[in-house]
Amino acid sequence: MKQFLSVSDVPDINALIAKAAAHKAAPFASSHLGQHKMVINLFFNSSLRTRMSTEKAARQLGADVITYDASGGWGIEFEDGTIMNANTAEHVREAAGVLSQYCDVLCVRSFPTLTDKEADYADRIMKAFVKYASVPVVSMESATRHPLQSLTDCLTISEHRRTARPKVVLTWAPHPRRLPQCVANSFAEWMQAWGEVDLTIANPEGFDLAPAFAPKSIVSHNQAEAFAGADFIYAKNWSAYDDYGATADLPDWIIDEQKMALTNDAFFMHCLPVRRNMVVSDAVIDSPNSLVLQQANNRTWAAQAVLGSML
């Protein structure tokens, strides 16, 4: 792979899942791949899981890692032709060009504004780094997608499915803040591209994801109906795509035991961090069917599979 920005960069999803599983079984078996290689992790937004799992993955491949937190503000200029006499101190042409001198793989995290839909969905920061970097770029979450999380989720589902073609429900859940659509977009995109699950997306009216990610045929506005017979419940809040960035106070959408009882003894999944008793009840997340820690663990192997494909 020359870049890892979305599922469309992956030639064979099952092969990549298998690679992740192989790293999980033998974390250091490929530690020659990163020998004398450098991975730079560039964060425009702070991170815990992504940072640690990506660093760990790189090191298990034998590579060195430099993590650079640019969340304090680096002042990068993205427009071409500007007279840079104001707040930006470096153009992305130089930023990406320079970082490419120092590493073999460049991992970048950025977030959406949630105020400018067009700019967010153009994925300006990530695209600019891809354009001007001379090394492979890995998205550690962009304004619209979070592909490392989705690969993780494929691995987790493949490890726990009890049928060849499980029913998977991606459900909106309540949250007090405005959150990006990235995790939900990517999860929807990967589940459909993977083709090994039946995906239903349950969300309130007004919270449909962008049509490119969520065709109307798989969207339900009735959470209880969607949960019926589900094998996996994947909970996540996201702000509205249509009324861009809007939120709603809908506590009834919480995932609790009553709703889980509607399912086929479904596993509960969430990418974390999660707000307890807001998104999901204690009883559900603390139940044996909760896979949230296994997902966090699988982030390492997903990252290792992606980095390993590039090094």
Sequence ranges of the binding site for N(2)-succinyl-L-ornithine: 141, 175, 236, 275
Q: Which run of H or E residues covers position 252?
A: none
Q: Which of 12, 80, 118, 252 binds its own copies (CB under 8 A)?
A: 80
**Pick 24 or 127: Cβ nearer its own copies:** 24
| CB 72, min distance to its own copies, A | 8
Encoded tokens for 207: 């919270």
Residues forming a β-bridge with 107: 41, 138
CB contact at 8 A, 141 and 50? yes
Among the listed residues 101, 162, 163, 252, the single contact to its own copies using CB under 8 A: 101
- Choose between 246 and 293: whose C-beta lies nearer to its own copies: 293
Q: Would you count residue 164 as binding its own copies (CB under 8 A)?
A: no
**Residue 17 or 285: which CB sits closer to its own copies?**
285
φ, ψ for residue 18, nearest 5 deg: -65, -40
> Which region, judged by CB under 8 A, interacts with its own copies, from 16-24, 63-71, 108-116, 224-232?
63-71
Is residue 26 near its own copies by the rule CB under 8 A?
Answer: no
Asked if 159 is part of the footprint of its own copies (rule: CB under 8 A), the reply reads no
Report d(CA 304, CA 311) in Å as an integer.
Answer: 10
The b-or-e profile of 168-178 (16+ CB within 10 A means b, else e) is bbbbbbbbeeb
Q: At what angle do helices 292-310 and 13-25 cross, to 10 degrees?
A: 110
51 binds its own copies per the rule CB under 8 A = yes
Stretch that binds its own copies, among 116-124, 197-205, 227-235, 295-303 (CB under 8 A): 295-303
Segment 208 to 237, residues that bind its own copies, using CB under 8 A: none
User: Are 6 and 143 within 8 A, CB to CB?
Assistant: no
Q: Is 28 in the site for its own copies (CB under 8 A)?
A: yes
Residue 247 found at the interface with its own copies (CB under 8 A): no
Question: CA-to-CA distance for 86 and 31, rounded, in angstroms?
Answer: 45
Question: Which residue type does 298 have?
Answer: N
Please report whether residue 9 would count as binding its own copies according to CB under 8 A. Answer: no
Minimal distance, residue 80 CB to its own copies, in Å: 8
Helices (H), the chain: 13-25, 49-60, 92-102, 117-122, 124-132, 147-160, 182-194, 223-227, 257-260, 282-285, 292-310
Binding string to its own copies for residues 258 to 277, with x set by CB under 8 A, is what?
--------------xxxxxx
Residue 110 Cβ, how far from its own copies at the closest point, in Å?
A: 16
Q: Cβ closer to its own copies: 11 or 251?
A: 251
Show Cβ contacts of residue 68 under 8 Å, excluding neighbours closer than 6 positions: 40, 41, 42, 43
> With binding defined as CB under 8 A, does residue 55 bind its own copies?
yes
